Amino acid sequence: MTTSDIRPDAATAEVEDKHHARRWWILVVLALAQLMVVLDATIVNIALPAAQDDLGFSDELRQWVVTAYSLTFGGLLLLGGRLNDILGRKQCFMIGLTGFALASALGGWSPTFEVLIAARALQGVFGALLAPAALSLLTVTFAGSAERARAFGIYGAISGAGGATGLLLGGVLTEYVSWNWCLYVNVVFAAVALVGAAKLIPSRKPDSHTKLDLPGTALVTAGLFALVYGLANSETNGWSDTWTLTFIGVGVALLAAFVFAETRVAHPLLPMRVVTSRIRGASYLVMGVAAVGMFSLFLFLTYYLQSTLGYSPVVTGVAFLPMVAALASSAALLGNAVQRVGPRFLVGGGMIVSGIGILLLMRVDEHTSYVTGILPSLILGGLGLGAVFATAMAYSTYGVDAEDAGVASATVNTAQQVGGSIGVSVLSSIAGTAATGYVTDNPLTGPPSEATLQALKQGAELASYHAAFAWASGIFIVGGIIVALIYPLRAPQADPNAETAFVH
């Protein structure tokens, strides 16, 4: 594809604006919106016990506070991306921010469990519109710019660090204010981003040539919904549960039908050219694999710090700060290095470094020192993930057609969301099996005392953490080797005058 393939009315105005001094302020606005969406996947986790005490819902219902968000967010992302291409990026960004803020306010006010679940589902709906808008706006703001890699490095750092930031912010708000403010805080983020977007982001005439693929929309939305629900159900009911197997099977079948249908319609929801590009396809795979390991690390290390070492929610959040700092520094510094080193070594090496960091957590026990036993793993994990997110985010929309920028942005978010769901579900199952195995292999002899029961419980918990860390490490290391083989050896060179310079 050449510059002449791009419609001049849309692309020229955006390419001209990218050199404006406000591009870095636009990045701040977009990063703030992305941070809000990403941290909302973890900030509520810390608040769950307090919310449960306040609203009086059971342990069985507790998972729905998390699942309601992931279901709508993951299921509607591709639709949200295509609506960006049809309605306009700025328009969808503003609608997404407003809706997310209102849903968050509703959730913070929640007088009942049902209202809280409805609010979380609405957050996912508007998040599915907002997240693709933010990434596609970033793509066109820095299109053809020499600063593109640096901008995506910063944005990738925000995306990677958002989960850990949510743990800290959730702990502080829950402990010192109330659990409700874990939702109310989004109103503040959204208000600032709305004002910035209205003043800084240029409007663009929507693409009248892009049509909505209704059959494809129905297939992928239902498929993603069924897959994410099945994975979430496996966490509580196991992999042999009828509903788990049914929903996962139906989800996979619907997604396969979606791929088949997309090759046969005039205006596909997800054109196969978006994912069959070697560098973009590798980036989507990277984001999915990285999410498997990253969200599992957050989950199980949080359990270990609080349950085994007795850390408070706030101290647990603070414990993750070195990882956030390492990730942000690595993403910012290595963003430009991809042109010299190439994505193969940067991403493959980053995933292997993160895998080694997680592998070191196999040493933890009930007496582990934070400085010697946990901190090195967090720093290594952050350094590796910084390289991964900065590069994969940058290339996830690289060279995409102008009319596909929204859906390409949605695809990388979908990969991250589904990858996180798979990781948490699979590794939770592995951890549970390891705990059961420990109890079976260490039967109590004689009358059980409180001390022996506590020791058995602690041993089972450590066995579950070790199993989860071992598998997460293996996923990172094997995934790093695989994606290193898929990514091209050298970074593609972009045409500085084109919004879509590289198509493989």
Mean per-residue pLDDT, 266-291: 86
Q: Which of 43-47, 187-191, 366-370 comes out lowest in average pLDDT?
A: 43-47
pLDDT in tens, 339-351: 677 788 888 999 9
Closest CA to 260 of 219, 214, 210: 219
- In the prediction, which pLDDT does 126 show? 95
| DSSP notation for 254-282 | HHHHHHHHHTSSSS-SS-HHHHHSHHHHH
Instruction: Say whether pLDDT at 216 is over 70.
Output: yes
Distance, CA of 319 to CA of 297 (rounded, Å): 13
Instruction: Say whether pLDDT at 494 is over 60.
Output: no
Mean per-residue pLDDT, 232-249: 86
> Coil, strand or helix: which one is 444?
coil
- In the prediction, which pLDDT does 187 show? 93
Contact assessment for residue 110 and residue 119, using Cβ atoms and an 8 Å cutoff: yes
Mean per-residue pLDDT, 412-432: 83
pTM strictly above 0.85: no
* Average per-residue pLDDT for the chain: 82
- In the prediction, which pLDDT does 9 show? 41
Amino acid at 39: L
Contact assessment for residue 171 and residue 312, using Cβ atoms and an 8 Å cutoff: yes
Residue 257 burial (C-beta neighbours within 10 Å; 0-12, 13-18, 19+) = middle
| Per-residue confidence band for 411, with pLDDT thresholds at 50, 70 and 90 | confident
Mean per-residue pLDDT, 46-74: 81
Instruction: Say whether pLDDT at 454 is over 70.
Output: yes
Mean per-residue pLDDT, 392-418: 81
Contact assessment for residue 40 and residue 166, using Cβ atoms and an 8 Å cutoff: yes
- In the prediction, which pLDDT does 338 show? 66
249 alpha-carbon distance from chain centroid: 23
More reliable by pLDDT, 65 or 353: 353
Closest CA to 471 of 422, 416, 436: 422
| Per-residue confidence band for 264, with pLDDT thresholds at 50, 70 and 90 | confident
- In the prediction, which pLDDT does 336 show? 67
| Per-residue confidence band for 409, with pLDDT thresholds at 50, 70 and 90 | confident
182: Cβ contacts below 8 Å, ≥ 6 apart:
43, 44, 46, 47, 108, 169, 170, 173, 174
Mean per-residue pLDDT, 186-202: 90
- Structure tokens belonging to residue 342: 């190439």
Instruction: Say whether pLDDT at 501 is over 50.
Output: no
Distance, CA of 418 to CA of 107 (rounded, Å): 24
| Per-residue confidence band for 375, with pLDDT thresholds at 50, 70 and 90 | very high
Q: Which of 61-65, 176-180, 469-473 comes out lowest in average pLDDT?
A: 61-65
Q: Which of 240-244, 296-300, 315-319, 399-403 comes out lowest in average pLDDT?
A: 399-403
Instruction: Say whether pLDDT at 197 is over 50.
Output: yes
- In the prediction, which pLDDT does 213 show? 84
Q: How many residues does the chain have?
A: 504
Distance, CA of 343 to CA of 392 (rounded, Å): 8
The CATH superfamily holding the domain 3-212+269-486 is: MFS general substrate transporter like domains (1.20.1250.20)
Mean per-residue pLDDT, 148-160: 76
- Structure tokens belonging to residue 28: 């701040």
Distance, CA of 122 to CA of 128 (rounded, Å): 10
Instruction: Say whether pLDDT at 90 is over 80.
Output: yes
| Per-residue confidence band for 352, with pLDDT thresholds at 50, 70 and 90 | very high
Q: Which of 3-7, 167-171, 370-374, 416-420 comes out lowest in average pLDDT?
A: 3-7
Q: How many helices (H) and strands (E) does the chain have?
A: 19, 0
Instruction: Say whether pLDDT at 42 is over 70.
Output: yes
Q: pLDDT over 70 for what percent of the chain?
A: 89
Distance, CA of 138 to CA of 131 (rounded, Å): 11
